[in-house]
Chains A and B, each alone.
Chain A
Amino acid sequence: MHYTFDIEKGNFTNAGNASGSVKKTLKQLNVDPSSIKRIVVALYEAEINAVAHAYGGKIDIDIDGDKIVMVVADQGPGIPNIELAMTEGYSTASQKVREMGFGAGMGLPNMKKNTDKLDIQTELGVGTTITMTVFLKN
């Protein structure tokens, strides 16, 4: 099962579309509610991150019998210091983003917390690709 979604820079209102449709499928698959919650929260954070920081991007989601793999690839500034970005509360979000209630510096830490595997590939000035894996049980 494969899904693709586009990410548009600065469009916070549409962020959440990907997590919304994935959520319905996961409920149909009878995945246990706590795993669904973790997946949806992680994916939403990744969507928001890309919307806030990048110039655009794409989400690819694959569900097979035992896991869900979510790849969020953006064209953007890249993450200069991953270790720092993983720190709770550390944020480089602009004032505009913060005024909208985002940018609390919990994005990456929340993704880490809610997934079984988190891989970050980033190149300054080119973009970031985040791959999140959650193993499914039902």
Chain B
Amino acid sequence: MSDSLTVGIIGAGYIGTRHAACWSRLPGARIAAVADIDRAKAEALAAPAAAAVYESAEALLADASVQAVSICTPTDLHRPIAEAAARAGKHILCEKPMALTPDDCAAMTAAAEAAGVVFTVGHVVRFFPEFADAKRQVERGAVGNPAAVRTRRGGSFPRPESDWYADPKRSGGVILDLLVHDIDWLQWCFGPIKRVYARGLTDRGLERLDYALLTMRHENGVISHVEGTWADPAGFATTFEIAGDGGLLTFDSRKARALSFAARAPQPEGAAPGVVVPASPLAAEDEPFYRQIAAFADSVVNGAPLAVDPADACRAVAVAAAARESLRTGEAVELG
């Protein structure tokens, strides 16, 4: 990238920190500002880049030196911040899920279009090499005509300091926050989902336990099943399998560990003794969040086609919303 791109990070929590780490090593990009309601967090993230520090999204968006923003706040804030960012003429990479409702998604998309800014959503799973490769395999006919697809994603309940995941009104629970990844990937690979039947724990009010099982039908006839858990103390894992009339493609992150480390003594920043810390390390330029941010920057600076169209992200939220509705009604929900 020859031109310089100045970036603002809005939200300096876990995911904002990951965005910042990628932006900081992307050639031609510079973190110009960081905003967080917790000033200390914003300062910590801003310091290495000598970036400006703000305590609100509004203040950061008023900074004329910022050309593009990573929106890394809790989900309920995505819409107002994205709309304000669009009005301020900033290009937008918004974390997933795009918003809490399809209506919010439509409003955000309209705002970005009206402002003429680049707008995309962080469906980072598309940049995970195993998930990207699976799509390539399907497209080259490696499994023949796909028929039955399964995914599993999850681990223990996410618990940042603010604990916003525990409020389904803010996070949407495991279906909207976590399974939106698989829903987007499924629709990316197999086309639109037309029917959803879901059962889950989101509305049960259990103490930091959420879990859901989605049974879905795509418009092209493919049947898919998604398991999502924020109730598994065994650690984060993902799996998928694609069964077709010509073969079967399977993946299990628990079996794709290129490196496993078990310490004999306590580590300064790591697991307790005897706990295996598995890893699937990738070259720096292949790291999914880095590739996502590089792709967004390429769209902003060079006009490259969007890797994730907001319409796709909106459609993923619509399916997640239908799954939530199915939880409430106990019936299958047809998507328009």
The answer to whether A and B come from one shared complex is no
What is A's interface to B at a CB cutoff of 8 Å?
A: none
What is B's interface to A at a CB cutoff of 8 Å?
A: none
